[in-house]
Amino acid sequence: MSKLRKTRAPGRPALITFAVMEQVAALVAEGMPERAACALVTPPVCHESFRSAKRRNPRFALVIHQAQAEFLARALTVIHTDGPGSGGYRWLLERRHPEDFGPKAVRRTVGD
User: Do the Cβ atoms of 31 and 71 come closer than 8 Å?
Assistant: yes
Residue-wise pLDDT for 7-27, tens only, equals: 666 777 778 899 999 999 999
pLDDT surpasses 60 at 109: no
Q: Which of 64, 40, 43 is nearest to 53 (CA)?
A: 64
- Alpha-carbon distance 19 to 64, whole Å? 12
Global pTM value: 0.77
Nearest to 85 by CA among 94, 77, 97: 77
Dump strand ranges (E) for 1-112: none
